[in-house]
Amino acid sequence: MAAHPGLLVASRHFYRILWRKNNVGTLCIQNTAGGSRMSKSTQPAAVKPRKKPFFTNDDLWGYAFIGVAVIFFLMFTIYPLISAVITSLEDYKPFGSDFVGLKNYQTTFTNTLFWKSLKNTLIYTAVVVPLSLLISFAVAILIMPFKKKLQSVFKAMYYLPAVASGIALSVVWLWIYDSSPSGLFNQLLTFFHLPIQNWLGSSKTSMLSLMIMALLSGQGQNIIIYTAALLGIDNTYFEAAELDGATFMQKVTRIVFPLVKPTTLFLLVTGVIGSFQVFMNAYMMTGGGPDNATTMIGLLIYNNAFTYNKYGLACAQAVILTIVIAAISFLQFKMAGSDVEY
């Protein structure tokens, strides 16, 4: 049977269907030698990724909140510090200052009162800070077994001096240290048949009086911080220690103290900084006397600036104090914070 002519033509020219990839994903018909071919993409068209904006709304809000803190830090910390450094190189006058270079620093290092005030500050810090940590830690340990309501009562009682003004506290302590027989401490000495003392008027007892005042009236904040750290210790440690027959002191030394070491380091650094900046107690109680026995470096800076109007000298001493505090804080973190995990 003869083939149809149309089928013969179709047999000579056949179509090959090629599926090729293209960017539009549509059916394409192309002429080839002897015919046409079709190609169709097997993948969808490529879509360009949308470019992410550099700042999102959340980022802008975050930078806005951080920006406020940075502005305040620059205004009230960096700017005064830079101004103090510049003023320390000048003979400051309200209507025009004269540049004197390092003269104020030379005067400071050759001034015997500066070295005496620095010595007084170091002695005060070396005694008050360790004893403050020890007292606060012991009180926090002792109030832990009580219920929460009773713990709150004790914490409020110890924190009460921090709420009162420094002037009110000074009036109370002036009565306690009254050199007459009616003074509280002198009444205690009389009760034990001991001679009364001129607590604030003698160079032998004036520094001791300021130390006692600091130790008995400034532990509230440390006690609260230590109590919070103790509440964060898992009770399973103590249960395991009891099963092993550990004593109370073993629990404190082997469990409690290592776990509150970051808190202790924090209180140590802040305590040293606060002791080097102590001013109110010496100013209100003794005025730095007698015979500059209680003149702290903070009180010396205040007197040079606002009593003798030597602002350049006061700024030089303030810069030196800042360097000393920064160096001591760095050494504390380096030595005591090497094995502390935060």
For residue 24, the model assigns a pLDDT of 42
How crowded is residue 336: how many other Cβ atoms within 10 Å of its Cβ? 14
Query: Residues in the chain, how many?
Result: 342
Question: Between 57 and 157, whose confidence is greater?
Answer: 157
Angle at 196 between CA 193 and CA 201, to 5 degrees: 165
Residue 6 has pLDDT above 90, yes or no: no
Q: Tokens at residue 42, please?
A: 């097997």
Over range 44-73, report the average pLDDT: 74
Structural domain range at position 179: 109-336
Over range 239-252, report the average pLDDT: 90
Cα separation, 135 vs 180, whole angstroms = 30
Q: Which residues contact 271 (CB under 8 A, 6 or more apart)?
A: 128, 129, 132, 133, 222
- Using 50, 70 and 90 to split pLDDT, how confident is the model at 256? very high
Mean pLDDT score of the chain, rounded to an integer? 83
Contact 256, 141 (CB under 8 A): yes
Q: Are residues 76 and 190 in the same domain?
A: no
Q: Are residues 69 and 175 in the same domain?
A: no
Q: Are residues 293 and 250 in the same domain?
A: yes
- Using 50, 70 and 90 to split pLDDT, how confident is the model at 11? very low
- Using 50, 70 and 90 to split pLDDT, how confident is the model at 104? very high
Q: Are residues 221 and 275 in the same domain?
A: yes
Q: Which residues contact 190 (CB under 8 A, 6 or more apart)?
A: 181, 196
Residue 48 resides in a domain: no
- pTM to 2 decimal places: 0.79
Residue 20 has pLDDT above 60, yes or no: no
Q: Are residues 65 and 131 in the same domain?
A: no
For residue 327, the model assigns a pLDDT of 92
Q: Tokens at residue 180, please?
A: 């007459």
Residue 49 resides in a domain: no
